[in-house]
Amino acid sequence: MQSLLAFIRLSRPHFLMGGVLMFALGAAAAGQFDPVGYALGQAMVTAAQVTAHYVNEYADLEPDRAITHRTLFSGGSGVLVGGLLRPSVALRAAWVSTGLAVCAALALAFSSLPAALLGLVAVLVSWSYSMPPLRLLGSGFGEVAASAVVAGIVPVIGALAQGGEVTAPLSWPIATLFLVHMAMMLAFELPDLDTDATIGKRVLAVRIGRSRTQVLIVVLLASAGFLIVGRGLKAEWPAPEWAALLVGLPSATVMIVGMIRKRSGLLTIAAVATLVLVAGGFIYGLLR
């Protein structure tokens, strides 16, 4: 039982909501519902996402040993560091989830080959983010790659799996959520910034420093807000953009407050809440 609970922690299920919502966003924009395509597409996306979790836990075992202020959304699960599971378990789990993602992609290819191919791209990034030779998280481009997959590729897969296309009602939310997801990724890096700098883990926040990271987070959130308002002013009320703005603004404000006051737990939770609420607002607006 203890090993099962440890494996659940290793899988970090609380991170999976992003993939579920982004896929649902794309499906909502398609304007039609294919249950088989939805199930296969979501299975592929979720398998790719947990692959990224397992690979990251395995690849960052030694850096994670130095983490002293782990939060719910930063610093890893702590399962491997705490000796609750062997590192080989994470690696084997990554290969199993990769196999599941590939199987789902093969099945989805019969109804939407582009969606299946994009799913394979997501799997490739899941490995390349943490593992050499690319190890994107230490290149300065890892945050961009992860945001492009979660906020860009996943909604597109959701639309294609339903027989839809990438149109303006979907492209604007994707652009907005890419910015919000980037801000969230940087928020996750702030609690471990000093430790990462000491051990040579060259994430983007380490490369540009704490003060510039904080400025960049504000700029990204403000840019997302301007996109929402700009698009919303061109549409009739009620538009999806207004729903996203109304529900996302309070949590974005809390996120900035947590960042300024160096409240790591508040910062990371508010960052996740902002992404979830903005995505949820867009979905609500599209389904009206």
pLDDT of res. 245: 75
Q: How many CB atoms lie within 10 A of CB 208?
A: 14
In this structure, are residues 204 and 186 in contact, taking their beta carbons and an 8 Å threshold? Answer: yes
In this structure, are residues 201 and 66 in contact, taking their beta carbons and an 8 Å threshold? Answer: no
CATH assignment, 2-287: 1.10.600
In this structure, are residues 172 and 152 in contact, taking their beta carbons and an 8 Å threshold? Answer: no
The model's pLDDT over 86-141, given as tens digits with 9 standing for 90+, comes to: 999 999 999 999 999 999 999 999 999 999 999 999 999 999 999 999 999 999 89
**Region 234-254 average pLDDT:** 75
The confidence band for 288, taking pLDDT boundaries of 50, 70 and 90, is: confident
The model's pLDDT over 164-203, given as tens digits with 9 standing for 90+, comes to: 888 878 898 999 999 999 999 999 999 989 888 888 889 9
> Helix 154-161 crosses helix 113-128 at what angle (to 10 degrees)?
160
**Region 198-220 average pLDDT:** 94
Task: Say what the pTM is.
Answer: 0.94
**244 pLDDT above the threshold of 80:** no
Q: Coil, strand, or helix at residue 163?
A: coil
Q: Is the peptide bond before 238 cis (omega within 30 degrees of 0)?
A: yes
**236 pLDDT above the threshold of 70:** no
Question: Residue 122 and residue 269: Cα distance in Å, rounded?
Answer: 25
The model's pLDDT over 149-160, given as tens digits with 9 standing for 90+, comes to: 999 999 999 999
**Region 224-232 average pLDDT:** 82
In this structure, are residues 259 and 219 in contact, taking their beta carbons and an 8 Å threshold? Answer: no
